[in-house]
Chains A and B, each alone.
Chain A
Amino acid sequence: MTAPVRALDVSRLPTTVFGHRSHMWWGTLGFMLIEGTTLLVCVASYFYLRLNFTSWPPEHTLRPSLVWPTVHVVVLLVSCIPVALGDRAARRLDLPALQRWFVVASAFAVSFLFLRWQDFLALNVRWDTNAYGSIAWMTAGFHGTILLLQVLETLVFTLFIFTNDFEEKHFSDASDSAFYWYFFVGSWIPLYLTLYLSPRLL
C-alpha cells in the first residue's frame, strides 16, 4: 500500500452502545436463531409423529391440562413489562431503576421454575409412554434448557448489578439480556399452542 499520510481519528467514538450497534446484540441474535431452529425441529418432529396415530393424543392417553400452562403463558407475558422497564433504565444509564426492575424480573424468573414443572405435569403423559409423550417432553425440555439458562443468567446478573464491579458497558449487557428475555417468552407461545392446544384441535 502507498504510505499512509492521512488518518481517520476514531478516539471520540462512544464505547457504550445499545441494540444493533452492540456486538453482544448481534451475538445474542445469532444464538436466538440457533435456539429458535432447535425449537422448530421439535415442532416439526411433533407434527411428523402425529401422522403415525389415528387419534392425538393416542388412545388411553389423557389430553394435556390447560390451567397451569395458561397461567404460565400469562405470567411470561406480564414479566416482559418489568424487563422492558429495566431495558429502558439501562438505556438511560439509570442504575437504581435498573436494579429495581431486575429484582422484579428475578422474582418472575424464579416463578418460571415452578411453572415449568407444572407444564411438565400438565402434559398428563410420561416421556416413555409412547412417541406422543416422548416428543411432548422433549419439546418442553428443549425450551426448558433455554428457560433454565435465562433464570440463571437473570439471577446472577441481578446480583452482579448490586456489586462494585458494575461498569457502564454492562448497561448494554442488561439491554441485551432483555432482548433475549423477549425471545424466550415469544418462543414459548407457539410451543404452548402446539403442546397444549393442538391436541384438542387435531
Chain B
Amino acid sequence: MTAHPVAPAEQVTIDPLDPERLERERRALERSWCSPPGLWGWLINTDHKSVGKRYIVTAMAFFLLGGIEAALMRLQLARPENALIGPDEYNQVFSTHGTTMMFLFAVPILMAVGLYFVPLMVGTRNIAFPRLNLYGYYVYLIGGVFLYAGFLLNVGPEAGWFSYVPLAGPEFSPGKRSDIYAQTVTFTEISALITAVEIIVTAFKQRAPGMSLDRVPLFVWAQVVTAFMVMFAMPWVAVASQFLAADRLIATHLFNPAEGGDPLLWQHLFWFFGHPEVYIIFVPALGFVSSIVETLARRPIFGYPVMVLALVVTGFMAFGLWVHHMFATGIPQLSESFFSAMSMTIAIPTGVQFFCWIATLWSGRPRIQVPLLFVLGFVVVFIIGGFTGVMVASVPYDVQAHDTYFVVAHLHYVLLGGAVFPLFGAFYYWWPKVTGRMLGERLGRWHFWLFFIGVNLTFFPMHQLGLDGMPRRVYTYLPETGWGPLNFVATVGALTIAVSVAVFLVNLARSVRGGTPAGDDPWSASTLEWSTSSPPPSYNFHLIPTVQSRSPLWKQAPAPAVVTGLRTDMREILVTTMMDAEPDSRMRLPDPTIWPLVAAIATGVTFITLVFTPWGLPIGAVLITIAFIGWGWPTRKEHELQLREEREA
C-alpha cells in the first residue's frame, strides 16, 4: 500500500437538478445523518445543532437561576437592615450568582451559539470532533448540577466568583464550599476548552470551497478569536483551581504565606484568566452584532479587514490587562503605569468596530427591527460601561472606587451591555433559523424597552452608591448611611429586568406554539446559514455550496457551483485547506455512541471524588481510560463501513 497522492478536485459540469437523483441523495443523507429515535437517540445525538441547543437551553436555565439569586440580593438590599436573608446565605447567594453567570451562563451560551452556527456559516455538515462536543456538554451539565446541588445543601461557594485566598483557603473557608467552587470551575473549563478546539478546527479545515480566510464571516472570526483566547486563558484558572483544591485537600502551601506561599499568586493566576474572560464573553457578542448590523443595514459591513484586525488585536491585548484588577494590592508603580496604559489602549480596537458599525448603518438602509434595537441598546449601555472602565483604569481613581458599588455598576454595564444585549438581539435574529418560526415583534419591543430601562434603573444608581462609599458584598447597611433610596431604585430596576425576561419567555412560548413561519431567509441575509431550510436538516446542506464572495447570498456568480461526490451512505464531510479553502480530502465523522456520556460520568465521578479524597485521581484515571477505550474502539458496523470505503477509495 502507498499513501494517497493529493488528488485535486475536478470541476465537472453535470446537471445536479435532476430531481430523481437529488431526491435519492437527500434520502440517503437523511438516513446517514439522523440519530436513532427516543431517549437513547437523544442521549447519543452528536449533531452540533442538537448539542448547541442543549447548551443554550441549559445556560438559559442557569441564567434564570442566577437571575433569581440577583433578585434575592436586590430584595435584601432594598431597605436598610432588612432581614430577608442572613450574612451566611448572602455570601453563598452572591458567590453562586457570580459563578453561575460567568462560568455556567455567559461563556457556555456565547460559545454555544458558535457551536450551532459556525458549521452552518462555513458550509459544512457537522462540527469537528462531534463526539467530543457531546462529551463537553455533559461535563458542563454535570458541573452545573454539582454546583447547585451544593448550593441547595448549604454548601454553595462563599468567597465570591473569584474566590480569593486566604478567604477561600482551608483556614477561613472550612467545609467543602470552596472545593465545590474549585471543581465546578474545572468542569466548565474542560467543556469550554473542548469547544474552543472544535470551533478552531471547524473554521480552519471545514470551510466550503472558495471561502478563503478573507471571506470568512465576522461572526466566525469572532468565534475563532474567542476560541484562541479560551485556549490560552482558561488553563490558568484550571491550574489555579487545582492549586486551591490541593491546598485545601492535601495541605500544599501554594497560597499559604506561613510556608512561603503567596495569596497574591492566586490573584495573578485568576486574573490572567479573568480579564481575558471578559473579552471571551464580549468578542463573540461582537460577532453577533456584526451579523445583525450587516443584515438589517442591508449592505456588507464597512471596513471588513479592519474589523478582523480589531478582533485579533483585542484578543492579544486582553492578555495585557489583568493587573488592573489588582491596583489596590500594592504592586510596583511601573506595573501600575503599564497596566493602566494598556487598559485605556484596548478601547481603541473596540472603538474602531463601533465606528465601522456606525458607518455601515449610516450608509445602509437600516430596518429598525428588534435585533437592531438590541444592538442599539448594546451601543448605549456598553459605551457607558466603557467610560467607567477608562475611569477605573486610572490608578488613583481605582484605589478610591475599588471594592465599592461603583465597580458593581461598571461590570454589569460592561457584561449586560457587551454580552446580554447582543445575545437577546441574536435570539431574535437567529431564532427563526433554529425553530422555523419568527418571534413576535411587538412583544420583542416590550422586552427590549423593559430590559433597557430595567438595566439602567438597576445599575446606574450603583455608580453613586459606590461614590458614596457603599462596599460590595455586604448583606445589609445602616439607615444612617443614606444609601436606602438609591438601593430601593436599584431593586425596582431589578424587578423591571425580571418582568422583561418574563415577556421574553412568553414571546418564545408563543412563537413555539404558533409563530409566523419564517421560511429559509426571513431577513434577506448574506451568510450561508440562511441558504438552508429553517430549521436546518440533520446534514445541514443537501448540496455543499461553494463561495465566491464575503456575502455569498448577496454577491455570487450567476450559477455558483455545488460540491458533489461526498458519500451519502455515511457521515462524510469535505476537508479543505486552511488559507484558501481548496478541497483537500474527505473525512468520515464517527456515528453517535453512548461513550461520550459514559466518559462524562467518569469525569464527573473523578472530580467530585477529588472534593473528598485524593484517591479520586487513580480511581478517575481507571474509569476515564475505560470510557475512552470504549469510545475509540470502532464498532463492527463502523468497521465494515470504513473498510468498504477504503476498498472503494
Which A residues lie at the B interface, using CB under 8 A?
1-18, 20-23, 26-27, 30-31, 33-35, 37-38, 41-42, 45, 48-49, 52-53, 58, 91-94, 127-135, 137-138, 142, 148, 152, 156, 160, 165, 167-169
* New A-B contacts (15) at CB < 8 Å, excluding given A16-B646, A17-B584, A148-B621: A4-B545, A10-B564, A27-B197, A30-B200, A34-B231, A38-B239, A45-B243, A48-B268, A92-B3, A93-B2, A127-B252, A130-B260, A131-B261, A138-B243, A167-B646
Pick from B262, B557, B584: contact of A52, CB under 8 Å:
B262
**A52 to B265 CA separation, bound complex (whole angstroms):** 11
Determine how close the nearest CB of chain A comes to the CB of B258; give it in whole angstroms: 9
Is the beta-carbon distance between A45 and B17 smaller than 8 angstroms? no
Which residue of B has the minimal Cβ distance to A127? B252
Pick from B259, B564, B649: contact of A8, CB under 8 Å:
B564
- Does B492 sit at the interface, judged by CB under 8 A? no
Is the beta-carbon distance between B128 and A23 smaller than 8 angstroms? yes
Is the beta-carbon distance between A17 and B634 smaller than 8 angstroms? no
Determine how close the nearest CB of chain B comes to the CB of A145; give it in whole angstroms: 9
Determine how close the nearest CB of chain A comes to the CB of B11; give it in whole angstroms: 6
Residues of A within 8 A of B231 (CB): 30, 33-34, 37
Task: From B95-103, B201-209, B214-222, give the one contacting chain A.
Answer: B201-209
**A26 to B634 CA separation, bound complex (whole angstroms):** 21
- Does B256 sit at the interface, judged by CB under 8 A? yes
Chain B, 634-649, contact with A by CB distance < 8 Å: what is the 0/1 string? 1000010011011001
Task: From B292-300, B354-362, B417-425, B585-593, give the one contacting chain A.
Answer: B585-593
Is the beta-carbon distance between A128 and B253 smaller than 8 angstroms? yes
**A42 to B246 CA separation, bound complex (whole angstroms):** 14
| 28 CB < 8 A contacts A-B | A1-B545, A5-B13, A5-B15, A6-B14, A6-B559, A6-B560, A7-B14, A10-B565, A10-B586, A11-B565, A13-B565, A15-B588, A21-B575, A23-B128, A27-B129, A30-B201, A30-B231, A41-B269, A48-B262, A49-B254, A52-B262, A94-B1, A129-B259, A130-B260, A137-B252, A152-B621, A160-B632, A167-B642
Residues of B within 8 A of A15 (CB): 4, 585-588, 645-646, 649
Which residue of B has the minimal Cβ distance to A16? B4
**A92 to B252 CA separation, bound complex (whole angstroms):** 49
Which B residues lie at the A interface, using CB under 8 A?
1-7, 9-17, 128-129, 193, 196-197, 200-201, 204-205, 209, 231-232, 234-236, 238-240, 242-243, 246-247, 250-254, 256-257, 259-262, 265, 268-269, 531, 543, 545-546, 552-553, 556-566, 574-575, 578, 583-588, 621, 625, 629, 632-634, 639, 642-643, 645-646, 649
Is the beta-carbon distance between B252 and A134 smaller than 8 angstroms? yes
Pick from A11, A41, A131: contact of B262, CB under 8 Å:
A131
Pick from A30, A42, A128: contact of B251, CB under 8 Å:
A128
Residues of A within 8 A of B4 (CB): 14-17
**A161 to B197 CA separation, bound complex (whole angstroms):** 27
Is the beta-carbon distance between B564 and A11 smaller than 8 angstroms? yes
Q: A131 and B253 in contact (CB under 8 A), knowing A5-B15, A8-B209, A13-B583?
A: yes
Is the beta-carbon distance between A165 and B634 smaller than 8 angstroms? yes
Is the beta-carbon distance between A168 and B559 smaller than 8 angstroms? no
Residues of A within 8 A of B250 (CB): 127-128
Determine how close the nearest CB of chain A comes to the CB of B126; give it in whole angstroms: 12
Which residue of A has the minimal Cβ distance to B128? A23
Pick from A9, A41, A138, A160: contact of B235, CB under 8 Å:
A41
Residues of A within 8 A of B543 (CB): 4
Is the beta-carbon distance between A7 and B16 smaller than 8 angstroms? yes
Pick from A1, A14, A18: contact of B586, CB under 8 Å:
A14
Q: A167 and B574 in contact (CB under 8 A), knowing A5-B559, A21-B584, A152-B625?
A: no
Pick from B9, B625, B629: contact of A10, CB under 8 Å:
B9
Residues of B within 8 A of A168 (CB): 1, 646
Is the beta-carbon distance between A132 and B7 smaller than 8 angstroms? no
Is the beta-carbon distance between B17 and A4 smaller than 8 angstroms? yes
Determine how close the nearest CB of chain B comes to the CB of A109; give it in whole angstroms: 14
Residues of B within 8 A of A30 (CB): 196-197, 200-201, 231
Residues of A within 8 A of B10 (CB): 8-9, 12
Is the beta-carbon distance between B239 and A17 smaller than 8 angstroms? no
Determine how close the nearest CB of chain A comes to the CB of B123; give it in whole angstroms: 11
Most chain B beta-carbon neighbours within 10 Å: one of A8, A9, A58, A137: A8
Pick from B9, B262, B642: contact of A49, CB under 8 Å:
B262
Determine how close the nearest CB of chain B comes to the CB of A157; give it in whole angstroms: 9
Is the beta-carbon distance between B11 and A13 smaller than 8 angstroms? no
Determine how close the nearest CB of chain B comes to the CB of A125; give it in whole angstroms: 11
Residues of A within 8 A of B236 (CB): 37, 41
Residues of A within 8 A of B558 (CB): 2
Is the beta-carbon distance between B3 and A91 smaller than 8 angstroms? yes
Residues of A within 8 A of B254 (CB): 45, 49, 131, 134-135, 138
Residues of B within 8 A of A152 (CB): 621, 625
Determine how close the nearest CB of chain B comes to the CB of A8; give it in whole angstroms: 5
**A127 to B253 CA separation, bound complex (whole angstroms):** 8
Which residue of B has the minimal Cβ distance to A153? B628
Residues of A within 8 A of B239 (CB): 38, 41-42, 45, 142
Determine how close the nearest CB of chain B comes to the CB of A87; give it in whole angstroms: 13
Residues of A within 8 A of B5 (CB): 14
Residues of A within 8 A of B634 (CB): 165, 167
Residues of B within 8 A of A31 (CB): 197
**A9 to B200 CA separation, bound complex (whole angstroms):** 26
Is the beta-carbon distance between A6 and B11 smaller than 8 angstroms? yes
